[in-house]
């Protein structure tokens, strides 16, 4: 009898974490490495949020919390959904988890049975299919196209739905592509979903506040209220509030589902860290003006990276509407020979050779289910990004 669970054979390690770790190891050996794999802002958590955490410690808010979150945070979450998305949820319809990952995992654990299918548009965040597999479900991938700006078409969603479909996972703005769906683009998808009442929607809105130009964010239930009874809307404080290490994610949805997720979390981790929850209360209820300032900086970085990558031989980089990633194609380099003498046959070869030759760490697109592409996080300084793009240009020019 094997010691390790069979479920482990169905999942792979996180490619984004692996790239960040590889960059750290090379830096420790003295290599000059620019890591562009991490999906977290380089900004510090705002002072008012840090102050709220310190005050919570001083008040003695250091005990266990209710599994689904402190009442003050659940109320703040309900108010956030009403204020920013026009969605009416009671505090009892919300849940707080240790990061967005726990919210997603608990939703799948609470609902998936063997044979249940989960539609996941590609490219996708690396953890979606692995969570589905760990929970006994079957991920069903639907590829998007660069010429469509990596946005799922309604006809392709329709084709993917079967009687076994349990969930449709939706992420806008997207990790890894940065693609964001307009109200009309989203309406085309929700029209399809309205024809299939057995399909639930799990929408990951983690990058909601990071959209650029005149783009206006919308979430599925906001566009189609008829989906209210079968949608879990997930969000968190990690990205917009620069609070990745605080590990607070949250969601709102039908009460029956929230109760089921609460039961699982109660046997798993119980409540999220009390101090981080009080900090999240301040994040949601406090001043929001810094978000616009950070967005302006991110947009400048995006424009810099897109411009410089499109000047690299063999690279084609669309301009994304949101998040802090670009997802360029390296198709023009496939079949060429890297400076090391190795023939670049895949996007994984491309990123591996780039790291060895120029010390730039990015994530290969095949890890996100669609290549030949690679993901760059521009959540780092403009100087670092400019130097990294120069190195990419130099590497591409040296390929023959």
The tens digit of pLDDT for each residue in 40-69 reads 999 999 999 999 999 999 999 999 999 999
Inform me whether the pLDDT recorded for 360 exceeds 90.
Answer: yes
- Span 109-118, average pLDDT: 97
B/e letters for 306-345, b = 16+ CB within 10 Å, e = fewer, are bebbeebebbebbebbbbbbbbbbbbebbebebeeeeebe
CA distance 73 to 277: 7
pLDDT at 202: 98
pLDDT in tens, 377-398: 999 999 999 999 999 999 999 9
Whether residue 189 contacts residue 152, with contact meaning beta carbons closer than 8 Å, is answered with yes
Extents of the domains making up the chain: 6-44+290-395, 62-287
Do 6-44+290-395 and 62-287 have matching folds?
no
How far, in Å, CA of 33 to CA of 24, rounded? 8
CA distance 70 to 140: 36
Helices (H), 29-92: 47-58, 71-85
Query: Rounded to 5 degrees, what are φ and ψ at 315?
Result: -110, 140
Residue written as token pair 């009874």: 229
Is pLDDT above 80 for 18?
no
pLDDT of 17 above 80: no
pLDDT at site 173: 98
The pLDDT value given to residue 159: 98
Q: CB–CB of 348/375 below 8 Å?
A: no
Binned at pLDDT 50, 70 and 90, residue 39 comes out as: confident
Name the DSSP letter for residue 133: H
What would the pLDDT profile of 86-106 be if each residue is shown by its tens digit? 999 999 999 999 999 999 999
> Strand pairing partners for 295?
none
Q: How high does pLDDT run on average in the chain?
A: 96
Question: If pLDDT is split at 50, 70 and 90, which confidence band does 84 have?
Answer: very high
Contact 222, 186 (CB under 8 A): no
- CA proximity to 317, closest of 372, 355, 280, 267: 372
What pLDDT is recorded for position 7? 83
- Residues of the chain with pLDDT > 70, as a percent, come to 100
Q: Is the pLDDT of residue 13 over 80?
A: no
pLDDT-based confidence at residue 11 (cuts at 50, 70, 90): confident
pLDDT at 22: 78
pLDDT tens, position by position, 135-148: 999 999 999 999 99
> Which strands, in side-by-side order, build the sheet including 249-252?
94-97, 249-252, 231-236, 200-204, 165-171, 117-122, 138-143
Where are the strands (E) in 165-314, listed by range? 165-171, 200-204, 231-236, 249-252
Question: What is the CATH architecture assignment of 62-287?
Answer: 3-Layer(aba) Sandwich (3.40)
Mean pLDDT (whole number) for 122-129 = 96
**Predicted local distance difference test score (pLDDT) of residue 395:** 98
Q: Is the pLDDT of residue 78 over 80?
A: yes
| Beta-strand pair 165-171/117-122 | parallel
Which residues is 329 bridged to in the sheet? 316, 373
For domain 6-44+290-395, give its CATH number from 3.20.20.80, 3.10.129.10, 3.90.550.10, 3.90.1150.10: 3.90.1150.10
Whether 83 shows a pLDDT value over 80: the answer reads yes
Q: Using pLDDT thresholds of 50, 70 and 90, give the confidence band for residue 374.
A: very high
Distances (CA, A) of 344 to 16, 309, 334, 385: 21, 18, 5, 24
Surface-to-core class of residue 46, CB atoms within 10 Å of its CB (0-12 exposed, 13-18 middle, 19+ buried): buried
pLDDT in tens, 260-318: 999 999 999 999 999 999 999 999 999 999 999 999 999 999 999 999 999 999 999 99
155-192 tens-digit pLDDT: 999 999 999 999 999 999 999 999 999 999 999 999 99
Q: Tell me: pLDDT of 244 over 90.
A: yes
E-strand ranges in the chain read 34-35, 94-97, 117-122, 138-143, 165-171, 200-204, 231-236, 249-252, 325-326, 360-361, 363-364, 374-377
Confidence check: pLDDT of 221 > 80: yes
């Amino acid at each position: 009898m094997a010691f390790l669970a069979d479920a482990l054979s169905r999942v792979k390690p996180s490619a984004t974490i692996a790239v960040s770790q590889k960059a750290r190891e090379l830096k420790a050996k003295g290599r000059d490495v620019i890591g562009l794999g991490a999906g977290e802002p380089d900004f510090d958590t705002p002072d008012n949020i840090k102050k709220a955490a310190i005050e919570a410690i001083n008040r003695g808010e250091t005990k266990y919390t209710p599994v689904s979150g402190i009442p003050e945070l659940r109320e703040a979450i309900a108010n956030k959904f009403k204020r920013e998305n026009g969605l009416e949820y009671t505090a009892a319809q919300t849940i707080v988890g240790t990061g967005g990952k726990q919210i997603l995992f608990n939703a799948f654990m609470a609902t998936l049975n063997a044979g249940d299918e989960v539609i996941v548009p590609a490219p996708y965040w690396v953890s979606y299919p692995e969570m589905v597999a760990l929970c006994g479900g079957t991920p069903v991938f639907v590829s998007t196209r660069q010429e469509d700006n990596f946005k799922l078409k309604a006809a392709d969603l329709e084709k993917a739905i079967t009687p076994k479909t349990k969930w449709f996972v939706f992420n806008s703005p997207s990790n890894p592509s940065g693609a964001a769906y307009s109200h009309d683009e989203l309406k085309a998808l929700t029209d399809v979903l309205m024809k299939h009442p057995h399909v639930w929607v799990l929408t990951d809105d983690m990058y909601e506040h990071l959209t650029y130009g005149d783009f206006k964010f919308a979430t599925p239930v906001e566009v189609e209220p008829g989906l209210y009874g079968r949608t879990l809307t997930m969000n968190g404080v990690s990205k917009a509030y620069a609070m990745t290490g605080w590990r607070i994610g949250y969601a709102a949805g039908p009460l029956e589902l929230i109760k089921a997720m609460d039961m699982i979390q109660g046997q798993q981790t119980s409540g999220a860290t009390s101090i981080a929850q009080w900090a999240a209360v301040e994040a949601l209820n406090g001043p929001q003006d810094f978000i616009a300032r950070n967005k302006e900086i991110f947009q400048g970085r995006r424009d810099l990276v897109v411009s410089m990558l499109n000047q690299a031989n063999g690279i084609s980089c669309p301009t994304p509407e949101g998040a802090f990633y670009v997802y360029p194609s390296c198709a023009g380099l496939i079949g060429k020979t890297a400076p090391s003498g190795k023939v670049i046959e895949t996007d994984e070869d491309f990123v591996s050779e780039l790291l060895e030759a120029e010390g730039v760490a990015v994530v290969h697109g095949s890890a996100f289910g669609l290549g030949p592409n690679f993901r760059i996080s521009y959540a780092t300084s403009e100087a670092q990004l400019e130097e990294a793009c120069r190195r990419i240009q130099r590497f591409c020019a040296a390929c023959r």
